[in-house]
Amino acid sequence: MIQSFDEIQKFGQNNMDAAMRAFGAVSNNAQAIAAESAEFARKSFEQSSSAVEKLFGVRTIDKVVEVQADYVKGAYDSLVSQSAKMGVLYSALATEALKPYEGILAKATKA
């Protein structure tokens, strides 16, 4: 099938527009992921520092075990929560990055 130059140019322009929209979506979501990761690292560091300070102040083994158990429980809970947040962010990244190509793929499958 021979296509006119205008049709080929329009097809190329549509692909370029879709690629630019996808790049914008990836860029925005990557920034959100980076910000969330940095915030989690900051909170994790503060939580660890607080636990170490508490450990320096304890006098008995029972209290050491209690402080350590509290730290581990809090760290685990925040890790599970952060994993869920990151899953949502990565899912949004994939969804928004592929959205511009939906129309192009639909046209390609019809032809």
C-alpha dist (Å) from residue 14 to 9, 10, 89? 9, 6, 27
Mean pLDDT of 58-87: 96
Q: Is the pLDDT of residue 71 over 60?
A: yes
What percentage of the chain exceeds 70 in pLDDT?
95
pLDDT of residue 3: 67
Mean pLDDT of 62-73: 96
Mean pLDDT of the chain: 89
Weakest-pLDDT range from 7-11, 30-34, 75-79: 7-11
Q: Is 40 exposed, middle or buried (0-12, 13-18, 19+ CB in 10 A)?
A: middle
